[in-house]
């Protein structure tokens, strides 16, 4: 990762849309027209460093336009700290900075064909990042008018289906019913299945099972009696 802290500070404090190219040179030449001192020598070195970084990014971008994946991924990774710094300079909340980074990277990908190698890549990227930062602001403002973030209310909301005692009773009852059903004979289970669970009439159940209605009725009554005795009901 390139160390570009001075570069970023210069970009943010300058506050312009221009890159580290001619306009930055003009900025420095107009504000630092004093005779050469150690400080001006340092700023000249910084400016040339910025130009070098911009040239490197521009060459990676040109390679990316030709389809060079390695150059493209290196460029995008190298740009992330720069985009974060631009977003911070716009006052974006820290938890939303990564959103701005990702939106900016997606925009760079979609706008790949619009980059002109004769122009500053840094200026191109900064404008996109600033625009996506503004979009982030708008999104936060829109969400703030429609939604309320209140995690305590959510935590305290009672869940009627979430009572563990009721759930345990329900499981217990299901197990009891299943074990009672298993004690029935095959004919009795068939009668319960068709007449009770599928809510069929005697005639429908007889047609479905191929048994007589009398046999089904007998099995049905016997099954009910056995279930009542096992589940604690009264005759």
DSSP 194: I
* 67 vs 161, beta carbon nearer other proteins: 67
* 40 vs 127, beta carbon nearer other proteins: 127
* 114 vs 150, beta carbon nearer other proteins: 114
Rounded distance between C-alpha atoms, residue 64 and residue 56, angstroms: 12
* 122 vs 188, beta carbon nearer other proteins: 122
CB of 202 closer than 8 Å to CB of 212: no
How far apart are CB 135 and other proteins at their closest, in Å? 8
How far apart are CB 116 and other proteins at their closest, in Å? 7
**Token pair of 107, please?**
């925009």
Helix (H, G, I), strand (E, B) or coil at 148: coil
How far apart are CB 101 and other proteins at their closest, in Å? 6
Rounded distance between C-alpha atoms, residue 68 and residue 73, angstroms: 9
Residues that bind other proteins (CB under 8 A): 17, 64-67, 69-70, 72-73, 76-77, 80, 98, 101-102, 105-107, 109-116, 119, 123-124, 127-128, 131
Rounded distance between C-alpha atoms, residue 226 and residue 235, angstroms: 10
Rounded distance between C-alpha atoms, residue 127 and residue 125, angstroms: 5
CB of 223 closer than 8 Å to CB of 191: yes
Burial of 189 from C-beta contacts in 10 A (0-12 / 13-18 / 19+): middle
* 73 vs 175, beta carbon nearer other proteins: 73
How far apart are CB 47 and other proteins at their closest, in Å? 21
How far apart are CB 133 and other proteins at their closest, in Å? 12
* 120 vs 190, beta carbon nearer other proteins: 120
How far apart are CB 53 and other proteins at their closest, in Å? 17
Element (H, E) at 122: helix 121-146
């Amino acid at each position: 990762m390139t160390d570009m802290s001075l570069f970023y500070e210069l970009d943010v404090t300058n506050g312009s849309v221009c890159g580290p190219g001619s306009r930055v040179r003009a900025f420095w030449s107009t504000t630092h027209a004093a005779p050469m001192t150690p400080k001006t020598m340092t700023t000249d070195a910084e400016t040339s460093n910025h130009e070098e970084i911009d040239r490197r990014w521009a060459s990676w971008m040109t390679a990316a336009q030709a389809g060079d994946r390695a150059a493209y991924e290196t460029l995008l990774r190298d740009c992330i700290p720069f985009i974060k710094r631009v977003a911070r300079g716009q006052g974006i909340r820290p938890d939303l900075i990564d959103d701005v980074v990702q939106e900016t990277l997606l925009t760079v990908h979609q706008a790949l064909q619009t980059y002109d190698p004769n122009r500053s890549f840094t200026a191109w990227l900064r404008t996109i990042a600033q625009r996506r930062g503004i979009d982030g602001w708008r999104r936060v403002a829109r969400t703030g008018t429609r939604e309320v973030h209140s995690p305590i209310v959510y935590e305290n909301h009672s869940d009627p289906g979430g009572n563990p005692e009721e759930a345990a009773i329900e499981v217990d009852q299901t197990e009891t019913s299943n074990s009672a059903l298993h004690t029935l004979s095959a004919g009795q289970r068939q009668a319960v299945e068709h007449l009770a669970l599928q809510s069929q009439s005697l005639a429908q159940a007889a047609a479905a099972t191929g048994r007589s209605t009398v046999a089904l009725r007998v099995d049905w009554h016997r099954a009910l009696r056995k279930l009542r005795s096992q589940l604690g009901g009264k005759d």
